[in-house]
Chains A and B, each alone.
Chain A
Amino acid sequence: AQKITQTQPGMFVQEKEAVTLDCTYDTSDQSYGLFWYKQPSSGEMIFLIYQGSYDEQNATEGRYSLNFQKARKSANLVISASQLGDSAMYFCAMREGPGIQGAQKLVFGQGTRLTINP
C-alpha cells in the first residue's frame, strides 16, 4: 500500500503567489516524522521542513510552512511568495517510529513538479 501520496504530478504558479503542495500519508504508528525535500534540476535533495507527529504547532521555516492535519493524515507544504528559484520537484517523505521494523528509512512520495512562471 502506498504510504505517501502526492496527487499533483505538476503545478504551475505565478511568481509571488502562494502555493500548496499536497501530501497524504498512511501509518498505524503514533510516532512518526514527516519531511519535505526539494530537488532542483541539478539533482540534489535539499531538506526543507520537518513535522513530528506529536508536534502541536505547524512547522515553519522561512517561506515554508507545513499544514499538518493529523486526523486527515495530511501534511501539505505551503510556500509563500513563490520565487523563480522555487521551480523544482518536491518530495514528501515519512519516517516511522523506532518500534517499526525498518523504520529507519524514509518513504517518499512520487513528487510534484512545481513550475513558477514570471
Chain B
Amino acid sequence: DSGVTQTPKHLITATGQRVTLRCSPRSGDLSVYWYQQSLDQGLQFLIQYYNGEERAKGNILERFSAQQFPDLHSELNLSSLELGDSALYFCASSEGAGGLETQYFGPGTRLLVL
C-alpha cells in the first residue's frame, strides 16, 4: 500500500458526460501528479500540482482540468468524454516539487466510456 488513495476504483459512463476523479496523497506529500495509461499511448503525464498551485503540464486535453485543494487532495475533471478517454488514470504523490524524489502511485481509477 503506497499510502495514496484514489476514488472511485472503476467508473463507467457515456460519451459526452463529465466525471471527477479524486486523489489523496501520502501524508506529508505536497505534490500530486496525474497520469493516464492507455493501450495506444502508454503512460502519459497529464499535470502536476504542488501545494495547491499548478506546477507542470503535460499532454492534458483542454476538456480535462484539475485542482488541488487546501487539504492537498486533488481532483481531475474530465468533460465531454469520448471513447478514446477510456483509460486507467493514476494519481501519484511526492514530498517536494521538482527534485528527483520518488513518486508513489495510487491504485488508479479505471474509466470506461461507452
- Seen from chain A, the residues whose Cβ lies within 8 Å of a Cβ on chain B are 31-33, 35, 37, 43-47, 50, 52, 91, 93, 95, 97-98, 102-108, 110-111
Alpha-carbon distance A106/B100, docked complex (angstroms): 10
- Pick the contact of B45: A44, A45, A97, A107 (CB < 8 A): A107
Range for the number of chain B residues in contact with chain A: 20 to 34
| A-B pairs with lowest CB-CB distance, top 8 | A105-B45, A33-B100, A45-B105, A108-B43, A98-B98, A104-B56, A44-B107, A104-B48
Are A106's CB and B45's CB within 8 A? yes
A17 vs chain B, min Cβ distance (A): 28
- Seen from chain B, the residues whose Cβ lies within 8 Å of a Cβ on chain A are 2, 31, 33, 35, 42-43, 45, 48, 55-58, 88, 90, 92, 97-100, 102-108, 110
Residue of B nearest to A34 (CB): B100
Are B103's CB and A106's CB within 8 A? yes
B47 vs chain A, min Cβ distance (A): 9
